Structure formats: C-alpha cells, structure tokens
Amino acid sequence: MIPFLSLKDITAKYADEIHQAVQRVVDSGWYLQGEENERFEQHYSEYIGTKYCIGCANGLDALIWIYRAYLELGIMQPGDEVIVPANTYIASVLAITENGLKAVLVEPNPETLELDDSKIEDAITPRTKSILLVHLYGRCAYTEKIGEICKKYNLRLVEDNAQAHGCYTPVVNTKEELQLSTLNFQLKRTGSIGEAAGHSFYPGKNLGALGDGGAVTTNNKELADCIRALANYGSQKKYVFTYCGRNSRLDEIQAAVLDVKLRHLDEDNRLRQQAAAYYYDNIKNPLIKFPARMPDENNVYHLFPVLCEHRDELQQYLKENGVQTLIHYPIPPHLQECYKGEWGEVSLPITERLAQQELSLPISQVMSECDLEVVVNTINRWR
C-alpha cells in the first residue's frame, strides 16, 4: 500500500536531531514560554522575512488572533467583511466568523485553484476591510492585481499560509526588507506579503510538528504585541489582563521539533517539487486534468491535486490497487451543516465542481521513485 502520507517516515528522516531536541526540553524542566519558543520564533521570522513571529497553539488560532487583534485595536468592527476563497479549508472561514466578521466567499480560478482575482472587485462593499488570501495546495495565491485591489480599496491583506511554508513569491523584497533579517534571497516568501499571516504546523503540513502548533508572522509591532497577549490569556504582564484572550501557546517540545525541521524545509520542499514534476511529466491519462503549472512559480506542493470527472471511481480504483488518496475538500464551507443559511442561496459552481472532481495524490519528501512510479503506472492503466 502506498500511503497518502507517511508521517512516521518523515519523522524518521530526522530522528536523531528530533530525539536530541526533545530530550533537551525534557531535561531542561522548562516546558512553556521558554528559550525553545524564542529560538524558533526568531528563526522562523528570519526564514519568512518578517520582524515578528508569535508561536501559538494551531493554525486556526493564528488566523483567529489576527482578526481578533484588528477588532481589539479598533481597526475593524464586528460585521465588517472579509473576502476569502470559497474552496478553502473551513479553518480560514471559521477564523473570520468566530470574530463576528462576515466571510464573503469568492470563487477560485479553475486553472490555478487559487482565489480568482478577476472576481474580487464585484464582492467588495463599503464594509469590506480585508482579503484573507489562502495559498492553497502549496502555491502562492498572490497576484499584482490583488495588491492593487488592496491599495485601491484600503483592504488589509492577511495570508493563510497553512499550506505553503517555504514558498517564494513573485514579489521582490525592498532593500529595507532585505536588511530585516538573514534573508539571502530577493523574492518574498508567502507569509511576508500581507500585513499578517497565519501558519499551521499540523503534523501533515510541509513544516509539521509532532502535534498541533501555529504561528503568526507580521511586521506590525502593535499587531504583534496584541496577538502575543491574546494567545496568552490576553496578558502582557504576569497576572495583568489587557484583553479577554485564551490559552493558545506553542509548547517548548513542539518549538524545538519545528526548529529542527525548519533547517530541512527547503530541501524537503525541493523533493516535493521533484515528485510533482515526475507526476506532471509521466501521468498520461486523458481522463485526468492537472491544475496549471507555471514555469517560474515556486509551488511547494503541500498537496498534489488532480481533477477527474469520475473522481470517486478513480479513487476507488486506486484504493483497490494499493494507492491511498484524499479529497481536499469533499464539502465546501458554504455547504457545511455548521454554516446552514449563512450565505442564503449563494451560487458557487466552480467551488462545487472542484469538490466533486478534486483528488489529491500521495506526495511528500519521503516518497521513493519506486512509489511514484507505481502511482503513475496505476493511474495510466485506468480505464
């Protein structure tokens, strides 16, 4: 059986370093808000290219805290609108609605599967305050047009970078930004394009912890200070509470593990890109369609989605032939029970079609050439 993702093999690759890191924390007797968090936050903000990184409990919280901070700082008001791609994972939408803000769902571009920048302006109203841009499947969703729209309508650009750790973007860093950290590249990474970004370190992500974890990156000090407080009961000083926050901290063991894995992230992403290239070059089945492959993009292939009109049949066939796949995502947020009635009779045909046709093939940094070959041959034999 070729598993969709073998977390065991991914962890085994860096087992010695991970064991050492975990042992160090165990022996230290210090398990929360310590040196490991400080070190990881510094390394991750340098890696992403922002001044601040705030570790927190998970990716959903990271996004919730960004919008909660906008509310606490008086930058947004309850009922304000946030544009978000309709085909995203539910967490992006929950982060908006949890804060009493209104999620405005906009269709993806059927070629890239990312937010369709030509449909954004129609969704803007006087209450629109932000775009939550999701870099879905590992591809940078930012376009110059999105930047222009944000400027024109004074919208705050927030990134959901749960699925694109390490992805470069077509946006060039300014001189000042290059001096910010140890950045040695000209292009921005996802997570440093907007005003703030939420990152998830869920185990299956490109940079995954051995449990839950998340972070916010930003260059805005006021926002960073507020978010750090919110994720720690709303406190900036021990036993003094400025905001009604929650316990949403990243623990020391996860921070230590993430710091190890961060050192290998670029290499791991390169291996994912190689696997993706192998799929693109060798899957030859007219019933299977790929999302557009852009020559100069730096897709980090958190997932490898393909589209197929007979998706369920294909998935069953692959399962019977030893290839595990997943669907991202079978039910879009607007059709979920929890959001019944939220958007009335909204029409999102592209999103609904993707939910019926998308299938994610196994991809990771530990898949062997032999595994990839089996997946390709099995798919090419279908029908």
Ligand X SMILES: Cc1ncc(COP(=O)(O)O)c(C=O)c1O
Q: Which residues, in sequence order, are CB contacts of 1 under 8 Å at separation 6+? A: 322, 323, 324
Bridge partners, residue 361, by sequence: 304
Cβ neighbors of 109 (< 8 A, separation 6 or more) are 115, 116, 117, 118
CB nearer to ligand X: give 212 or 251: 212
Interface characters, 90-129, with ligand X (x: CB under 6 A): -xx-------------------------------------
Contact 288, 307 (CB under 8 A): yes
Q: Least distance from C-beta 191 to ligand X, angstroms?
A: 13
Dihedral angle sign, alpha carbons of residues 81, 83, 88, 92: negative
Instruction: Report, in Å, the least distance between residue 319 CB and ligand X.
Output: 23
Six-digit token string for 362: 């196994």
Contact between 132 and ligand X per CB under 6 A: no
- Nearest residue by C-beta to ligand X? 59
Give, for 306, the enclosing helix (H) or strand (E).
Answer: strand 304-307
Q: Phi and psi of 53, rounded to 5°?
A: -135, 130
Contact with ligand X (CB under 6 A) among 45, 87, 88, 143: 88
Nearer to ligand X, 214 or 245 (CB): 214
Q: β-strands 156-160, 128-134: how paired?
A: parallel
- Residue 229 binding ligand X, by CB under 6 A: no
- By CB under 6 A, name the one of 56, 162, 207, 226 that touches ligand X: 162
Q: Is 329 in the site for ligand X (CB under 6 A)?
A: no
Helix, strand, coil % in the chain, rounded to nearest 5? 40, 20, 40
How far is Cα 308 from Cα 316, in angstroms, rounded to an integer?
A: 13
* Contact flag: residue 85 with ligand X (CB under 6 A): no
Q: Which two tokens stand for residue 330?
A: 């079978």
Asked whether position 305 contacts ligand X by CB under 6 A, the answer is: no
Residue closer to ligand X, measured from CB, 180 or 335: 335
Q: What is the rounded CA–CA span in Å between residue 348 and residue 354?
A: 10
Q: Which stretch binds ligand X (CB under 6 A): 106-114, 159-167, 237-245, 353-361?
A: 159-167
- Residue closer to ligand X by CB (options 304, 376) is 304
Q: Which residues 26-65 are close enough to bind ligand X by CB under 6 A?
A: 58-60
Q: Which is nearer to ligand X, 91 or 96 (CB)?
A: 91
Tokens linked to 245: 């926050």
Query: Would you say 66 or 224 has its CB closer to ligand X?
Result: 66
Q: Give the chain's end-to-end CA distance (angstroms, integer).
A: 21
Part of the chain binding ligand X (CB under 6 A), chosen from 23-31, 158-166, 184-192, 241-249: 158-166
Give the shortest CB-163-to-ligand X separation in angstroms: 5
Closest approach, Cβ 208 to ligand X, in A, equals 9
Phi-psi map region of 183: left, alpha, beta (phi>0 left; psi -120 to 50 alpha): beta
* Interface mask toward ligand X for 180-209; x: CB under 6 A: --------------------x-x-------
**Residue 111 near residue 289, CB atoms below 8 Å:** no
Q: Is 160 in the site for ligand X (CB under 6 A)?
A: yes
Token pair of 270 as six digits = 């390169």
Based on the shown chain and the rule CB under 6 A, indicate whether residue 218 belongs to the binding site for ligand X.
no
Residues in the chain: 383
Q: How far is the CB of 96 from ligand X (least distance, A)?
A: 12
Shortest distance, CB of residue 94 to ligand X, whole angstroms? 9
Residues at the contact surface with ligand X, assessed by CB under 6 A: 58-60, 88-89, 91-92, 134, 160, 162-163, 200, 202, 212, 214
